[in-house]
Amino acid sequence: PSDRGPAGLAYFDEDRSAEVVNARMGQDVSPRLKQVMAALVRHLHAAVKEIEPTHEEWLAAIRFLTETGQMCNAWRQEYILLSDVLGVSMLVDSINNRRPSGATPNTILGPFFVDGAPRYPLGADICRDGKGEPMVVRGRVVDTQGQPVAGAMLDVWQTNDDGFYDVQQQGVQPEGNLRGVFEADADGRYWFKSVKPRHYPIPSDGPVGQLLGRLGRHPNRAAHLHVIVTAPGHAPVITHIFTPDCPYLGEDAVFGVKQALVADFQKVDDPEEARRHGLQAPFWRVDWDFVLAPA
């Protein structure tokens, strides 16, 4: 047996360590897997060469990843949080959603979307726990020519006024609190009631929270309302509406804020307008249009 092997790279060699590993891949490996693994191994070896970790440090890294996996369950995806706080979720999203200008930009999905949220008629209130400042969100779903998208579906979800999603407080919040699915009307119009979103911390009692703490970073997300808008023939948009007055707009823990997603929240004192929405004044009014790109 030669120390060079068939590919000329059989035995370990610090200077060519990544090449040695990559040369081991077989001939009929899928080209995409080959590309992905080659890049990962190359960049990982480069990082290790730059860092020169001690054995103890490398074990700490492995322990961190182990604990991250151990935190995960149906409602807690610590690896998604890790990807989020490292800016990778937003990067992957940007790479996959380069939209024509004027279309509503995507932002991070996050770990708290639930398929099959309650279906409501237009105008319904998704808040079932009575906490928070009442808000009406209304607008149109249009295409990039400004034409209404009749029957577009809007799936919305947010935290309650204590800063938790329903799935984080099962048995505490009413089921389906602050989630809902609406269908825009024939003119692409939609409207619904909720409460003004507030800022809240991403779950920080796990390894990702510890990491943030050690990095001198806070875990707070800028106040937001999640929305997924879908319609046949159009690219779905997974997005947020941000409040303009949140102290964390410029320092969102997961880098999800985009200028084009910060809405105007109008405080309405008019009792007549409040009555028309079935509310008491004052309430918040958000006029917000979604612009869908072609599929």
**Site residues for Fe ion per CB under 5 A:** 110
Output 226 or 285, the one with its CB closest to Fe ion: 226
How does strand 290-292 pair with strand 134-143?
Answer: parallel
In the complex, the smallest distance separating the C-beta of residue 81 from ligand MBD, rounded to whole angstroms, is: 6
Tokens read off for 15: 């200077």
Q: Quick one: 116 or 233, whose CB is closer to Fe ion? A: 116
Three-class DSSP category at 12: coil
Would you say 9 or 229 has its CB closer to ligand MBD?
229
End-to-end CA distance of the chain: 56
Positions in the binding site for ligand MBD (CB under 6 A): 84, 108, 110-112, 202, 221, 254, 256
From 158, 198, 153, select the one nearest 292 (Cα to Cα). 153
Q: Based on CB atoms, which residue is closest to Fe ion, 17 or 173?
A: 173
Measured from each CB, the residue nearest to Fe ion is 110
Whole-number CA gyration radius for the chain: 24
Q: Which is nearer to Fe ion, 110 or 203 (CB)?
A: 110
Contact, 224 vs 240, CB < 8 A?
A: yes
Least distance to ligand MBD, CB of residue 89, Å: 7
- With CB under 5 to 8 Å by kind, the binding choice for 157 among ligand MBD, Fe ion, none is none
Residue 86 beta carbon to ligand MBD: minimum distance, rounded to whole angstroms: 12
Half-sphere exposure of 9 toward its Cβ, with a 13 Å CA cutoff?
14
Least separation in angstroms between residue 292's CB and Fe ion is 22
Q: How far is the CB of 129 from ligand MBD (least distance, A)?
A: 17
Pick between residue 41 and residue 117 the one whose CB is nearest to ligand MBD: 117
DSSP string, 48-91: HHHH---HHHHHHHHHHHHHHHHH-BTTB-HHHHHHHHTTHHHH
| Residue 202 touches which of Fe ion, ligand MBD, none (Cβ within 5-8 Å per kind) | ligand MBD
Q: If contact means CB under 5 to 8 A according to the sort of partner, which of Fe ion, ligand MBD, none does residue 111 touch?
A: ligand MBD
As a whole number of angstroms, the distance between CA 10 and CA 73 comes to 41
Structure-token pair, residue 151: 């029957």
